[in-house]
Each structure stands twice: as structure tokens, then as C-alpha cells.
Amino acid sequence: MRRSCVDKTSVIPFQLPSLLKALIQVMPLIDKKIRIGSALFLLSAGVPLWFVTEAISPQLVQAYTARVDLCVDSLPEENYETSLRRAEAAARAAAQRSFDQDILVTDVSIIVSVQNQGAIAPVLELAVDRSQWRTRPDPQRWVTYFKSAKSLLFAGNNSSTPTISTVKPRTNDK
């Protein structure tokens, strides 16, 4: 007869429910480690990729046109030509200031209006780009004059009081 040498106390019974309980308790920790690991991997791969794309092709600069509207009041006893020279000086200063204040400005468009005795009209437009202004900052070179401004402003009439003609009423002498 054969005898069995196996001791029944040395065999460990397999308990499935307790193993599952332990695995379920460990899974959230593994899940968190996997999420953190994948996030670190994505970030560590994305940042160098961004640096490479910026080094190869940097973003284009967004340039724009500065638009300025100025109004110059005409002084008493000032003729149209003097007002026009003051408007040119104001346009020149505004163009230079626009280019100096913002490096992204590539073009400047300035419209100068003159006010004379309550009437207001645009007298000139200065339209110039940065390279043109750098080579020749002369407003008379880049300005466009509005021809009808002189007649709109009544600049030919320098008197401050209007002339009134008096007409004698006719009397019927019979």
C-alpha cells in the first residue's frame, strides 16, 4: 500500500475573494500612477516639440496701420496758407509719434482738419509707411491736399465781422 506523504496542514487553500479584495484596493493607486506617468510623458514630449517648431518657424509679426484724426483751430487773423502750414507741422509730429510709440506700426494715415469760425473741413491727409518716413520725413512729400477745403472754410474772408450792405428803402414820392 502506498502511503501519502502529504500533510494536509501544509496545503494552503486558494481563496479567490480575499485576493480580489486586495487587488481592488491596489487598483486606484496603480490607476493614479498610470495617469501621472502618461501625463508626464505627454508633457515631456510636447514641450521640446513646441521649442523645435518655434525655432524652425517663428510666428509672424502682426503689423498694422495707425490712423489719427487731428483738428487744428485757426487763429484769429490767420490766413489759409498759415493754417495749412500749422496742419502740416501737426501731421508731421503725429506721424513721428505714431512710429516712435509702437514698433508694430508699418503705415500711418493722418487726416488733419482745420476749424475756422465754426466751420470745419479736412485740409490734408498724410499717408506714409515706415520705410518711406525713415528715408524722407518730409510731410509735404507724402501729403494729399483737399482742394475744396479753402472754399469750405471761407479762408479768403479774414475779417471777423461779416460785412453787411445797407440798402436804403425806396420811398414813393408822388
For 142-155, how does the pLDDT look when each residue is reduced to its tens digit (9 = 90+)? Answer: 999 999 998 888 64
Cβ distance 72 to 115 under 8 Å? yes
pLDDT digits (tens, 9 = 90+) for 24-59: 665 565 556 666 777 777 667 777 777 777 778 777
Q: How confident is the model at residue 12 (pLDDT cuts 50, 70, 90)?
A: low
Instruction: State the distance between the two ends of the chain, measured CA to CA, in whole angstroms.
Output: 177
Helix, strand, coil: what percent of the chain each, to 5?
A: 45, 20, 35
H or E segment at 119? strand 119-129
Q: Grid coordinates 518655434 are at which residue?
A: 54
What does pTM read for this prediction? 0.56
pLDDT digits (tens, 9 = 90+) for 68-86: 999 999 988 888 899 999 9
Predicted confidence at residue 15, as pLDDT, reads 55
3-state secondary structure of 109: strand
Round to whole Å and give the CA distance between 124 and 69. Answer: 11
Residue 134 pLDDT greater than 50, yes or no: yes
Per-residue burial over 140-154, b = 16 or more CB atoms within 10 Å of its CB, e = otherwise: eebbeeeeebbeebe
Instruction: Tell me the pLDDT of the chain averaged across its residues.
Output: 76
